[in-house]
């Protein structure tokens, strides 16, 4: 399973670099195989779920098939449920689920997805030290989701918070 997982990640990277759809299709296929070979109670199961979720997200971004983003969201939730809360991967998995929910909101317009993405982005930000190299990026992701919700619902507090976050990020 580990070798399938690694090959899947490499194919996804090549897809992201060159855009060949056959690479992402094969990455999804191999990630599914790796997941199927990984027992439910195995320590690597969360990693396999997360990897398949990421590949499906990447394929959705290119092809726009909502089945892919729906499955990416479902798998990301499962990965979070299996991840120890004290590990750095947990924040990354929260962020990944937030990213998928953000994209699904863009595609389908369900504000509940955006609300959940914002909650996840907040949790991610609260679980990462300000000295972390990803802090500003994560803050920017939260600000962007708040700005989108302002555009959708018109709540000025969302826009004010987005501006404050963007200001703080630019001052770091």
pLDDT at 83: 84
Provide mean pLDDT across the span 142-160: 97
Is the pLDDT assigned to residue 89 strictly greater than 80?
Answer: no
Q: What is the 3-state secondary structure (H, E, C) of the chain?
A: CHHHHHHHHHHHHHHHHHCCHHHHHHHHHHHHHHHHHCCCCCCCHHHHHHHHHHHHHHHHHHHCCHHHHHHHHHHHHHHHHHCCCCCHHHHHHHHHHHHHHHHHHHHHCCHHHHHHHHHHHHHHHHCCCCCCCCHHHHHHHHHHHHHHHHHHHCCHHHHHHHHHHHHHHHHC
Q: Torsions phi, psi of 26, nearest 5?
A: -70, -35
Is the pLDDT assigned to residue 90 strictly greater than 90?
Answer: no
pLDDT at 87: 72
Of the pLDDT bands very low, low, confident and very high (cuts 50, 70, 90), residue 127 is confident
pLDDT at 22: 97
Contacts of 90 (CB under 8 A, 6+ apart): 80, 83, 84, 127
Contacts of 23 (CB under 8 A, 6+ apart): 11, 12, 14, 15
Contacts of 69 (CB under 8 A, 6+ apart): 56, 57, 60, 100, 103, 104, 107
State the pTM of this model.
0.93
Is the pLDDT assigned to residue 86 strictly greater than 80?
Answer: no
pLDDT at 119: 97
pLDDT at 172: 78
Of the pLDDT bands very low, low, confident and very high (cuts 50, 70, 90), residue 145 is very high
High-pLDDT (> 90) share of the chain, %: 82
Mean per-residue pLDDT of the chain: 94
pLDDT of 24-42, one tens digit each? 999 999 999 999 999 998 8
Provide mean pLDDT across the span 71-82: 96
pLDDT of 91-116, one tens digit each? 889 999 999 999 999 999 999 999 99
Q: Looking at per-residue confidence, does 52 or 1 come out higher?
A: 52
């Amino acid at each position: 399973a580990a070798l399938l997982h690694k090959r899947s990640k490499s194919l996804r990277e090549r897809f992201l670099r060159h855009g060949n759809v056959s690479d992402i299709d094969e990455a999804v296929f191999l990630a599914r195989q790796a997941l199927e070979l990984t027992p439910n109670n195995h320590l690597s199961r969360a990693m396999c779920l997360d990897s398949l979720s990421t590949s499906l997200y990447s394929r959705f971004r290119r092809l726009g098939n909502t089945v892919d983003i729906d499955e990416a969201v479902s798998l990301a939730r499962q990965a979070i449920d299996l991840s120890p809360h004290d590990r750095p991967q947990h924040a990354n998995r929260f962020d990944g689920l937030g990213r998928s929910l953000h994209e699904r909101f863009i595609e389908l317009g369900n504000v509940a997805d955006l609300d959940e993405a914002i909650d996840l982005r907040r949790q991610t930000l609260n679980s990462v030290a300000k000295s972390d190299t990803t802090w500003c990026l994560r803050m920017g992701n939260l600000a962007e989701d708040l700005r989108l919700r302002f555009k959708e619902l018109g709540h000025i507090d969302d826009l004010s918070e987005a501006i404050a976050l963007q200001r703080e990020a630019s001052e770091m």
